[in-house]
Structure 1
Amino acid sequence: MADIARPPPPLLGHGRVLKIALPIVLSNATVPILGAVDTGVVGQLGQAAPIGAVGIGAIILSAVYWIFGFLRMGTTGLTAQAWGARDHAEVDAMLSRALMIGLAAGCAMIVLQQAIFAGAFMLSPASAEVEGMARQYMAIRVWSAPAAIAIYGLTGWLIAQERTSAVLAIQLWMNGLNIGLDLLFVLVFDWGVPGVAVATFLAEWSGAGLGLWLCRGAFRGTAWKDWPRVFDRARLRHMASVNTDILIRSLLLQAIFVSFLFLGADFGDVPLAANQILLQFLEITAYALDGFAFAAEALVGQALGARERLALRRAALMTSFWGLLACAGLALAFAAFGGAIIDTMTTAETVRAEARLYLHYMVAAPVAGVAAWMLDGIFIGATRSRDMRNMMLLSAAIYAAAAAALVPAFGNHGLWIAFLISFVARGITLGLRYPALEAQAAG
C-alpha cells in the first residue's frame, strides 16, 4: 500500500531543523510586502478614503481569520503525532477533517457576513465614505473565506510532515499573484477598491487550489475518504478539545496585546504612536521565530507519536538552540540599528524621540520572549493544549497584576515592563510543565 511505502524521517540534525525553519521565515517575509502593495496601489488613486477602506477592511477580515489560527496549530500537532506513530491512514484522515472545518467555517462567515461587518464597525467606527468602501471590499473578499481558512489546515498538515518548502510555495504563489492582480485591476483597469478585493479573492482560492495539489499524495489512497475514521467520535472530540484550548489561549494572548494598546492610549498620541512603532520590532521577532517554533511543532509531535522520549528532548533542545541564536541576533541588531529602523517608520521627530526612550525594551524583548515562543511550539507539537490554556491564564493574571502595580508608578515604562513580564511568565509557567510533557512520551 502507498502508506507503507512512505519513508521514515531522517535523523535529527541541525540541517533538518533549518530545512524546516528557513522556508517559514522566507514565507513570513512576503506578508508585509503584500500589505505594502495593497496600500500603495490604492494610494495611487489620490484619495484618503480608499486607503482607509482597504486598511480597515483587511484588518477586520484578518482579525476574524485569526480566530481560526487554532486550525493550523491543532492540525500540525495531531498530524505530526500520527506521522511519528507511522499511522498514515490517520494522517490522511486529518487532512479531510481540517479541510472540512475550514470550509464549514468559511461558509459560516459568508452566511453571517452582515452581522460580522456590523459588529466590527460598532467597535471601530469610520466615516460614512470609508465604511461604505470597506463594506464593498469585504463583501467581495468574504467569498474566499472558505479558501483562506482551509489554507490554515493545509499549512498545518504540511508543516507536520516537514514540508515547509510547500508552504513557502503556496505563500509565494498566493502573494505574488495577489500583487500582480493588484497592479492590473487597480492601475490598469481602474477598478479601485473592488479591484484590490477581487485580486485577494482570486489569490486565496488559487492558493487553496495549489495547496490541494501539493497534498495530492493523500488523495491517491482511500484513508482520506474513510468516513467512519474521519468522523470517529473519539478523534473528533480530541481534536475539538485541542482546538478549543488553543483558541482560548490565543484569545488570552490577544487580550494582553489589546490591553497594552488601550493602556498606552491613555498616555497621549505621541507615546501611543511610539508604542505602535515599537510593536513592529516584536512582529519582526515573531516572524523570525515562527520558523523554529514550527520546526519544534513538527519534530516534537513526531517524537511523541513514536513514543521516543530522547528524540523529543533532542527536538526541543535543537529547535530552541536555533531560536535562542535568532533572538540573540535580533537583540544585537535592534541595539545597533533600532534608531535607524525607527527613523524609517516615521518622520515625526517627537515620535522618533519618544520611541528611542523605550528602545531598550525591544532589545530585551527577544531574549525575554524566546522561551515562551519556543515552548509554545513544543507544547503545540505535543498537543498539550490544556497546559497552554492554563499557563496562559496564569500569565495573563501575572501581567494584569504587574500592569496594575507598575503603570500608575512608572507610566509607559511600567507598561512595557509589565508587557515583558508577561513574556517571561509564559516561558516560566510552560517550562514548569515541560517534565510532564516528556513523561507523556515515555508513557
Structure 2
Amino acid sequence: MAICTDCRRRVCWRSVLRLTLPAFGVLVAEPLYLLYDLAVVGRLGALALAGLAVGGLVLAQVSTQLTVLSYGTTARAARWHGAGARDRAVGEGVQATWLAVGVGLLLVGLVEAVANPICGLIAGRPEIAAEAERWLRIAVLGVPAILVTMAGNGWLRGVQELARPFGFIVAGLGLSTVLCPMLVHGVAGAPALGLVGSAVANVTGQTVAAALFLAALRRERVSMRPRPAVLREQLVMGRDLVARSLAFQVCFVSAGAVAARFGAAAVAGHQLVLQLWSFVALVLDSLAIAAQTLVGAALGAGDRAGARATALRVTCWSTLTAVLLAAGFAVAARVLPTWFTRDGTVLAQVGSIWWLFVALMPVAGVVFALDGVLLGAGDAAYLRSTTLAAALLGFLPLIWGALVLDWGLPGIWTGLAAFMLIRLVAVSVRVASGRWAIVGAAATPP
C-alpha cells in the first residue's frame, strides 16, 4: 500500500484512513472478543468471572511482554520500507518471528511453573485463585501463537499492508467466537467445560491466526534463517520497549491485586471497566499505528517535514475521536454495564468508577497518538524513561494508597488518571521539541 504522492509534504487523510481502518479492525477485534468472552463466562456467576479476571490479567501481562514484536518491528520495517528496501523490511519480520517462537516457549514453561503461587498472590482468596489457575494453565499454551501474531502484524504494518492482518485475526477470533459458548455452556452437544472451555476456545483461535501469519511470511520468498546481527539490533530497541512494558505490567497487576482484596465483586467490576478501557485505547491506537507507519516511512525517506505534519494531524484526529467515544460512553452509562453482568454488587462497583473512566478518554486520545509518533521515530528510550517515571510517581503510590486507606476502586482509577496525565506532559514536550525527527533508514533519536 503506497503513500499518496502529495503526502511527502502534507498529510493526506486518504492515506491515514487506508492505514487506520484496517488497523482499527485488527486492534478492536481482540478486545471485542474479550468482552464477548466475559459475557459468556459471566453467565456462570461472579466466581467464574473473577477467575477469568485474574487469569486473564496474568495472561495479558505475559503475552504483552514483547510488544517490541509488533511496535518495534513496525518502526524498523517502516523505515526500510520508506527507504525502498522491502526485502529488508520483511527480514525484520522473519527475525521478530524467531524471537516470538523462542521467547513464547520459555514463557509457557515459566507460567506453568508458577501458575499456582502467582494466581494465589493476585487473587487473595483461594476460591478465586483456583478458578484462575485452571483457566490459565490451558490459556498460556497460546502464548507462542500470540507472539507470532504480534510479529506478523509488525512487519505487515511496516510495509503498509494492513488488510491481510485483519483477515488473519478475524479468522482466528471467528473460530474462538463459535467455540466459546459451545465449550463453556455445552451448546450444540459440545461438552460443558465451564471456565476451562473459554481457555480452549482462545488457544484454538490463536493457533489458527499464527499459522496464517507464518504462511504470509513464507510467501515473501526471503531467507528464513536467523540473522544474529539483526536480532541484536531488535533486542537493543526491545530492551527499552520491554522496560516500558514492564512498567505497564507492574501497574496493572498491582491494580488487579488491590481490587481483588476488595472482594470478588470489586475485581469483577474492575476487570469489566478495564476491558472497556482497553477497547477505547486500542481504537485510538489504530490512529497511532497510522502515525507510526507514516512517520517511520517519512523519516526513512528523509522527509522530516512530512513526519512532523503527520504528528500534528493524527493527534488532532485522535483527540476528536476520543471526545466522541467519551460522549458515547457517557450516554450509555446506565445500559452498557448490564450487557456483561446482572450482578448488582458488580454493577455498583462499575458505577463507582464509570465517570472517571469517561473523563480520561480525551487525555488518552492525545497520549496514544503521540506515543505512535515517537514509536515510529524509534524514540523508545524516551518512552521507556517517561513511562517508568509516570508509574513510580503516579500510578503505583495511589494504587497501594487505595489499599491502605480503603479507597476502593475509585482510588485505583485515580492512580490511572495520574499515570495518564504525567505521560501527557512528557510526550507533548518531546514532540514539540522536534528531537525525535531524525531521518535515515535506521536512525535513533538522541
- Displacement, 1:216? 4.3
| Residue pair 1:25, 1:287 contacting (<8 A) in 2 also | yes
Please give the alpha-carbon distance, in whole angstroms, between the structure 2 residues aligned to 1:317 and 1:213: 37
| Residue pair 1:85, 1:305 contacting (<8 A) in 2 also | yes
> Which residue of the partner structure matches residue 218 of structure 1?
220
> Which residue of the partner structure matches residue 204 of structure 2?
202
Instruction: Classify 1:297/1:144 alpha carbon distance in 2 versus 1 (closer, same or farther; 3 Å).
Output: same
Question: What are the equivalent positions in structure 2 for 1:261-340 lying under 5 Å apart?
Answer: 261=256, 276-340=271-335
| One-letter amino acid of the structure 1 residue matched with residue 313 of structure 2 | M
1:86 to 84, 87, 90: 84
- Displacement, 1:294? 1.2
| Residue pair 1:79, 1:94 contacting (<8 A) in 2 also | yes
Please give the alpha-carbon distance, in whole angstroms, between the structure 2 residues aligned to 1:66 and 1:216: 25
| Residue pair 1:96, 1:225 contacting (<8 A) in 2 also | yes
| Residue pair 1:281, 1:362 contacting (<8 A) in 2 also | no
**Residue 440 in 1 paired to residue 429 in 2?**
no
Please give the alpha-carbon distance, in whole angstroms, between the structure 2 residues aligned to 1:263 and 1:367: 26
- Displacement, 1:103? 0.8
- Displacement, 1:384? 0.8
Q: How many residues align?
A: 429
| Residue pair 1:402, 1:421 contacting (<8 A) in 2 also | no
> Which residue of the partner structure matches residue 159 of structure 2?
161
- Displacement, 1:308? 0.9
- Displacement, 1:118? 3.5
Is the deviation greater in 175-184 or in 85-94? 175-184
> Which residue of the partner structure matches residue 9 of structure 1?
3
Instruction: Classify 1:263/1:64 alpha carbon distance in 2 versus 1 (closer, same or farther; 3 Å).
Output: closer
1:391 to 366, 386, 390: 386
Instruction: Classify 1:260/1:56 alpha carbon distance in 2 versus 1 (closer, same or farther; 3 Å).
Output: closer
Please give the alpha-carbon distance, in whole angstroms, between the structure 1 residues aligned to 2:76 and 2:117: 34
> Which residue of the partner structure matches residue 417 of structure 2?
420
| One-letter amino acid of the structure 2 residue matched with residue 238 of structure 1 | E
Is the deviation greater in 364-373 or in 110-119? 110-119
Deviations 1:312-366, CA, capped at 9 Å, x for gaps: 1122122212211111101222333323334545546676566556544233211
| Residue pair 1:76, 1:297 contacting (<8 A) in 2 also | yes
> Which residue of the partner structure matches residue 98 of structure 2?
100
Please give the alpha-carbon distance, in whole angstroms, between the structure 1 residues aligned to 2:399 and 2:47: 39
Please give the alpha-carbon distance, in whole angstroms, between the structure 2 residues aligned to 1:299 and 1:425: 26
| Residue pair 1:369, 1:420 contacting (<8 A) in 2 also | no
**Residue 64 in 1 paired to residue 62 in 2?**
yes
Please give the alpha-carbon distance, in whole angstroms, between the structure 2 residues aligned to 1:403 and 1:53: 25
Please give the alpha-carbon distance, in whole angstroms, between the structure 1 residues aligned to 2:137 and 2:270: 32
| One-letter amino acid of the structure 1 residue matched with residue 233 of structure 2 | H
Larger Rg: 1
**Residue 377 in 1 paired to residue 356 in 2?**
no
| Residue pair 1:300, 1:382 contacting (<8 A) in 2 also | yes
| One-letter amino acid of the structure 2 residue matched with residue 204 of structure 1 | Q
| One-letter amino acid of the structure 1 residue matched with residue 427 of structure 2 | L
Please give the alpha-carbon distance, in whole angstroms, between the structure 2 residues aligned to 1:400 and 1:40: 29
> Which residue of the partner structure matches residue 189 of structure 1?
190
| Residue pair 2:302, 2:439 contacting (<8 A) in 1 also | yes
**What percent of counterpart residues are identical?**
24
- Helix, strand or coil: the match of 1:338? coil
- Helix, strand or coil: the match of 2:334? helix
> Which residue of the partner structure matches residue 243 of structure 1?
238
| One-letter amino acid of the structure 1 residue matched with residue 191 of structure 2 | D
| Residue pair 1:294, 1:377 contacting (<8 A) in 2 also | yes
Is the deviation greater in 391-400 or in 66-75? 391-400
> Which residue of the partner structure matches residue 25 of structure 1?
24
| One-letter amino acid of the structure 2 residue matched with residue 23 of structure 1 | P
- Displacement, 1:263? 5.6
Please give the alpha-carbon distance, in whole angstroms, between the structure 2 residues aligned to 1:334 and 1:48: 24
> Which residue of the partner structure matches residue 4 of structure 1?
none
Please give the alpha-carbon distance, in whole angstroms, between the structure 2 residues aligned to 1:191 and 1:278: 28
| One-letter amino acid of the structure 1 residue matched with residue 370 of structure 2 | L
Instruction: Classify 1:143/1:288 alpha carbon distance in 2 versus 1 (closer, same or farther; 3 Å).
Output: closer
| Residue pair 1:260, 1:419 contacting (<8 A) in 2 also | no
| Residue pair 2:73, 2:96 contacting (<8 A) in 1 also | yes
| One-letter amino acid of the structure 2 residue matched with residue 26 of structure 1 | G
- Displacement, 1:195? 5.2
What RMSD, in angstroms, separates the aligned Cα atoms of the two structures? 3.8
Please give the alpha-carbon distance, in whole angstroms, between the structure 2 residues aligned to 1:15 and 1:151: 27
Report the TM-score when normalising by structure 2.
0.81
| Residue pair 2:51, 2:132 contacting (<8 A) in 1 also | yes
Please give the alpha-carbon distance, in whole angstroms, between the structure 1 residues aligned to 2:438 and 2:193: 55
Q: Which runs of 5+ in 1 are unaligned?
A: 1-6
| Residue pair 1:42, 1:192 contacting (<8 A) in 2 also | no
- Displacement, 1:86? 1.6
| One-letter amino acid of the structure 2 residue matched with residue 289 of structure 1 | L
